[in-house]
Amino acid sequence: MIANIAFNPRKGSVWEREEYFDEELYKRGTQIERGFSVLDGFKALLIRYQATTRSWVALPMMAFCVCLLRKIHKNQLS
Q: What predicted TM-score, i.e. pTM, was given to this entire model? A: 0.49
Q: What is the largest CA-CA distance in the chain?
A: 53
- Residue 60: how many CB atoms within 10 A of its CB? 13
Side chain identity, residue 32: I
Over the stretch 19-69, which tens digit does the pLDDT of each residue have? 677 788 888 888 888 888 887 777 666 566 667 778 777 877 888 898 899
- Residue extents of the structural domains in the chain: 1-38, 41-78
